[in-house]
Amino acid sequence: MSLSKFVIDTSHSHASFSVRHMMISNVRGEFSKFSGEIGYDPEHPESTTASVTFEVASINTREEKRDAHLRSGDFFDADNHPSMTFRSKSARKSGDGLVLVGDLTIRGVTHEVALTVEEITQEGKDPWGNTRLGASAHTRIKRSDFGLTWNAALEAGGVLVGDEVKISLEVEVIKQA
C-alpha cells in the first residue's frame, strides 16, 4: 500500500455551506481561506486520510454586516477560535466514493462527522508536470452541537437561523514529492 500525500490547491477548490434563513430560503456562504493535506491510494481508498483547516475570519456570505456577526461571539467567535478543523479517523468505500469519518472542531467543540466523498477523479498531469486529482464531498451538521446557538424568534413563529448546516466541498489536490 502506497499512500500518496496531496495538498489542497485552494485556488481551484471551494468550501461552502448553506443554512435556512427565516425558515424561507437558504443563505449560502463560503470560507475563502483553508488548507489541508490528503493521503490517498487509488488501489486502497479505504486508507484515505484528510486534515483540513478553515480560517473562520475568511467567511463570506456576500453581506459584510452578516459576515461580521458570524465572526462575532454570537457565532464563530473568530477572535478566540480563529480556525475550524476536520481530521479524519477512518474511511470506507461507498459506491464509487468514500465515507470519511472524522473529528470536526468548531469553536473549540469537537464532534464526529461523516463526510461523503463522491466523484473522485483519476489522477492527471497538469501543464507544469504536477499530478492532480479532485473530489466532491458533503455533510450536514447541527450548528447547535458546536455551541453556535444564537438565534432570534420570528413574530410569525419559527426562528431567524436554521440549526442544520449543509456543507459542501469541491477540492483539487496536488501530489507532493
Pick the CATH number of 4-175 from 3.40.50.300, 1.20.120.1230, 2.40.50.140, 2.40.128.110: 2.40.128.110
Ranges of each domain in the chain = 4-175
Residues 37/6, Cβ–Cβ less than 8 Å: yes
Indicate the length of the chain as a whole number: 177
pTM, rounded to two decimals = 0.90
Count of other CB atoms within 10 angstroms of residue 70: 22
With 70 as the cut, is the pLDDT of residue 1 above it?
no
How many CA atoms lie less than 13 Å away from 88 in the CB half-sphere? 23
Q: Exposure of 151 by Cβ count < 10 A (0-12 exposed, 13-18 middle, 19+ buried)?
A: middle
pLDDT digits (tens, 9 = 90+) for 109-150: 999 999 999 878 888 899 999 999 999 999 999 999 998 888
Q: What is the pLDDT of residue 159?
A: 76
Residues 115/100, Cβ–Cβ less than 8 Å: yes
Residues 154/160, Cβ–Cβ less than 8 Å: yes
pLDDT digits (tens, 9 = 90+) for 59-112: 999 999 999 999 999 999 999 999 999 999 999 998 888 999 999 999 999 999
